[in-house]
Structure 1
Amino acid sequence: MTAPATPQELFALWADVRLQGLPPPALVRHPHVQSQLRRLHQSAPDLFQVEEVGRSVEGRPLHLVRVGSGPRHILLWSQMHGDEPTATTALLDLFEFLRLHRAHPRVARLLSALTLHAVPMLNPDGAERFQRRNAQGIDVNRDALALQTPEGRTLKALRDRLQPSLGFNLHNQSWRTAVGDGSRRPASISLLAPPFDASRSDNPGRVLAKKVCAVIRDALEPLAPGQIGRYDDSFETRAFGDNLVRWGTPTVLIETGPWPSAEPDEPLLRLNFVALVSALEALSTGAVEHANLERYESIPLNDSKGMLHLVIRGAHVFGEAGDAFLADVGVAAAQAVRTREGSASVVLSGSIEELGDLRVYGAVEEVDGTGLTAAPLPSRDVKVGDTLPPPPRSELSLRVGLPAELMLLRPVEPQGNYRVERILRYER
């Protein structure tokens, strides 16, 4: 096998190196990670070293994977927020890429120039619950100074022991995040070189992180044009990314956001894979030193509320009072884990978040509501094509906060009835 060089080739290669048998990222749990790390070590013990470096609140082992033998040490960690899972699977795919292509000159050079230290799933207790915080109820990413969480203490101890020259802090961001350039495009990947003080000063380490972000932008933009944003760089005195810079390890924040399709996991995993391989190769060759800083500084800032999952455009709407009016209906959604009869699944949970003139919002899906009435789905069963008598006014009212269980109705003349044109249902 040959290892490709271009982002487009890496994007295509991911399908060959992706780990088989894993569930969707939101359903990956600590035992899945443990099993894959054991397999890696057993299949290539000379390449992968796996070490237990701590325990979570509930006693789950926190593992450090070491691969490579180079003088430049890089620390990567994922899922310090338990409900931000994409990069955990992306890291496992990265390891598989290195295993399968270790003999290729480009990969061999990477492994001889860098030593990678990675903690996939820093917050396994939160992942088990699919919640942001750890089992204590603490946000691990706001515990860099107090160090009241065993997960935070583990990360700090690793930083102090390894003295890495760069860190990769891997997260997911809200699916409401858009690229803030007025394009109404989703911020599928957002990047940040965090500051180390409130004045957002630069030092050589932060400049390096900015150049790495520039490399990632150049790699990803052809694959997701207009969908790369820059995360807010306000200094957060409690956060790990900001404090690692203060402690001497500059960091690159990669935030995975929304993707405009019904099945977002695969394209987002591909983007993470391309971002990591491209950045690590640029670090191993020294090409990062020649990256254009302007390519980082000109990344459009995130718009943290500019994206919706669904917008119904120009429908007739009845509010809580008054006559019907023309409006857009905006639904925000996020992945959620539901367990029924002992089986877990990933669903889209959504609610009405915006109502009115929503022309400034982007959406994963837009529905033309011209000539239709948007109404809540009734408790009784209805299906597309049903003819309904005019519902009581109380059954037509929409408001922000309602579950996104909607139907679009078309008037049927001359009877005054309605025909169900479409049903839009998200999980509660």
Structure 2
Amino acid sequence: MTMTDAPVDIAQYLSTVYLTLPIPISIERLSGGEINYVYRVSFDKPIAEFAGAHSIVVKISLGTLASIPEVKFGLERQMIEARAMSLLTPTSTGLSLPLSFLNPYSHVVTPSLYHYSSQNNIIIMQDMGSHPDLQQFLLDRTTTNHDACTLGELLGNYLSHFHTFTKDNISKLRPYFTNNAARTLLQDIFYSDITSVISLSTLPTSQIAKLAEKARFFGIQGTLDQSSFTEVIKMGDLWPNAILIPQSRQELIILDWEFCDVGNPAIEVGHFITFLYLIANFPSSEKGTIEGMNNASIFMKKFLQTYIEKFVPKNAKAFWEDMQVMIGIDILIEAGKGRWCSIEPCMCEGECLLVEEEGTKKRKICVKKIVEVGIELLEGRKGVLEKVLCMDINIMN
């Protein structure tokens, strides 16, 4: 059996939960587990307790970020992730909830929950396998425009249905999904972290402070206007890395619901749109292709058109305004990470805005164009959101 750096003896723990379970043949830590300690546990035969599967995934939380142990992330969020899997997947081991989500889109799936222990802070869940994530799928040279359009429509249908269902039942669901741990973490390391990026610009100090305060306030309120926004249950961290595309290219697997929370659907949609926009316009030089950028744009448009056709917010104008601010904040945060750059050589007029490229300390990339778009969105300038989305918002209201 493969040795691991797991904070608990996984094999021993499994043997106490499932008395007849055979000894695992391997336990491997999965990459990408920045929030939790995540492991794939494999067996040499199908296991009845796990619907005949040969493997499971075990998530362990210590109340901190696995990648940055000094950053706290309350254990409450693991219980909410377990509840989300119970809500979304009928085959999950039941946690008591007042109702279940009936998913009419069978090609969008979430993992089944097999076991959750609040005492040990461990989740045992269905292993969905190893598949390309959405960004890899969109940038794959074999992905067609039709593939991107079809899956964009599928996700738009699913998310609008989920948001509508939870909006209509929010009073019943709110006590089970209010995620204060996620809100605290996001406020501390996300909404309050844009000053350094905006400071790269030539804006006056007073304007930088004003925009930083706007972002901080937006994070606390979850909207620009609390009287106008709609409450739903959000997945909470919907971005391309949380969506896997199996080989059939007809399914979507949505993972990692620890940020699931009661909140504003414009934040959910805006957060997701941010990454599609960046893939479509500013992919890293090694990964970007014209075909992949076009796929991302097609996916984004079809997803958003489908979502807006089906989901009716309390106030459409407030929805778009909140989405614009969310995309602006997200773009600025991402600009500072050095993940994105223009596919063409830098053509800046005047001084560039340079940040270290992610994964290297030897090369810097210019993010001036990205920062400018983020600032314009955060400022609330008219016409900028339409340009980012490549569509007329008035037609969609």
TM range (shorter): under 0.3
Larger helix percent = 2
The alignment's TM-score, normalised by the length of structure 1, stands at 0.26
Larger strand percent = 1
The alignment's TM-score, normalised by the length of structure 2, stands at 0.27
